């Protein structure tokens, strides 16, 4: 066992909790406090029912008549469409373009990442259905650190694939990736699944009504739930610190272009 693994296992014992706390989107200090302590915070009612309905039809449009500026990702039997927020046509997709442009959300990103932050740069619309099997169903942290704004557009219960995470576990990636990050190196998909023993199966399901925002530090250990009944529609945006403006490299020396 390496020192770093011992250290991260020690951290996990001390700091993970079973609770995901809620806060209001205007309460920036409360949100930052939770993100720092837990790596995750819930904002129930971030989108109202009307915005949820509109966003739902915008997602169907993105899936079925994908505009040239949006890109289908390889995503099992469900759907995943990626786009840059700056490309989204606000006349045709008013909620997808505005949900992640709200000044309250930018205040959070600014407080979290500080000067040079990159606000809601990339957006995904995702649909998980029965039979969806994706590699994000395995416990992992994300390769390029970001703050994720993840909005449920369907009510999400235990059966339709809730997001799972281990509050407090964002310290693991921070520790494991310290040297890579100093050198601007992005880990591989395998690297971000090499986790301290005993973590698998400990993710807690984050349930919520349509319109709920889950804000999380992508360093947190997390995975998608498996849909056994119904479906889960969601939109999410990725915000970064100024570090993302620098050139990052994969382990093979090529430049990292992924979000």
Ligand X SMILES: O=C(O)CCC(=O)C(=O)O
Q: Report the interface residues with Fe ion, using CB under 5 A.
A: 142
* Touching ligand X, residues 220-239 (CB under 6 A): 222, 224, 236
Contact, 190 vs 143, CB < 8 A?
A: no
From the CB of 222, what's the least distance to Fe ion, in Å? 6
In the complex with Fe ion, the residue whose CB is nearer, 128 or 142, is 142
From the CB of 142, what's the least distance to Fe ion, in Å? 4
Number of residues binding to ligand X, judged by CB under 6 A: 8
Instruction: List the Cα angle 35/209/27 in 5-degree steps.
Output: 35
Establish if 123 lies at the interface with ligand X (CB under 6 A): no
From the CB of 28, what's the least distance to ligand X, in Å? 23
Q: Which does 224 bind (CB under 5 to 8 A by kind): ligand X, Fe ion, none?
A: ligand X
Quick check: helix, strand or coil at residue 103? helix
Tell me how far apart the alpha carbons of residues 125 and 82 are, in angstroms, rounded to a whole number.
7
* Number of CB atoms found within 10 A of residue 231's CB: 15
Containing 15, the helix (H) or strand (E) segment is helix 3-15
CA distances from 189 to 170, 185, 186, 240 (A): 17, 13, 10, 19
Q: Which does 199 bind (CB under 5 to 8 A by kind): ligand X, Fe ion, none?
A: none
In the complex with ligand X, the residue whose CB is nearer, 7 or 136, is 136
| 180 φ/ψ angles, rounded to the nearest 5 degrees | -55, -45
**Radius of gyration from C-alpha coordinates of the chain:** 18
Of positions 112, 163, 240, 248, contacts ligand X by CB under 6 A: 163
Tell me how far apart the alpha carbons of residues 93 and 98 are, in angstroms, rounded to a whole number.
8
From the CB of 143, what's the least distance to Fe ion, in Å? 9
From the CB of 15, what's the least distance to ligand X, in Å? 21
Containing 49, the helix (H) or strand (E) segment is helix 49-64
In the complex with ligand X, the residue whose CB is nearer, 70 or 215, is 215
From the CB of 142, what's the least distance to ligand X, in Å? 5
* Touching ligand X, residues 131-150 (CB under 6 A): 136, 142, 148
Q: Which does 163 bind (CB under 5 to 8 A by kind): Fe ion, ligand X, none?
A: ligand X
Would you tell me the crossing angle of helices 103-113 and 28-37 to the nearest 10 degrees? 50
Q: Which residues bind ligand X (CB under 6 A)?
A: 136, 142, 148, 163, 218, 222, 224, 236
């Amino acid at each position: 066992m390496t020192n770093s693994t011992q250290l991260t296992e020690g951290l996990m014992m001390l700091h993970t909790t079973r609770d995901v706390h809620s806060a209001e989107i205007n309460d920036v200090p409360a949100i930052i406090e939770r993100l720092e302590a837990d790596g995750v915070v819930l904002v129930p009612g971030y989108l109202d029912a009307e915005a949820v309905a509109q966003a739902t039809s915008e997602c169907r449009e993105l899936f079925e008549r994908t505009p040239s500026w949006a890109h289908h990702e390889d995503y099992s039997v469900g759907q995943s469409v990626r786009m840059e927020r700056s490309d989204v046509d606000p006349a045709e997709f008013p909620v997808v373009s505005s949900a992640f442009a709200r000044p309250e959300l930018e205040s959070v990103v600014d407080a979290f990442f500080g000067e040079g932050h990159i606000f809601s740069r990339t957006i995904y619309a995702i649909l998980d259905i029965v039979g969806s099997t994706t590699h994000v169903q395995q416990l992992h942290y994300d390769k390029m650190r970001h703050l994720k704004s993840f909005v449920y557009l369907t009510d999400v219960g235990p059966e339709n694939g809730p997001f799972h995470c281990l509050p407090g576990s964002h310290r693991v990636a921070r520790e494991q990736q310290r040297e890579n990050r100093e050198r601007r190196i992005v880990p591989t998909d395998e690297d971000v699944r090499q986790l301290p023993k005993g973590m698998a199966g400990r993710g807690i399901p984050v349930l919520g009504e349509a319109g709920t925002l889950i804000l999380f530090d992508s360093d947190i250990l997390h995975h998608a739930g498996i849909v056994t009944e119904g479906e889960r529609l969601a939109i999410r945006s990725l915000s970064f610190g100024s570090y993302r403006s620098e050139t990052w490299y994969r382990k093979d020396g090529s430049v990292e272009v992924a979000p």
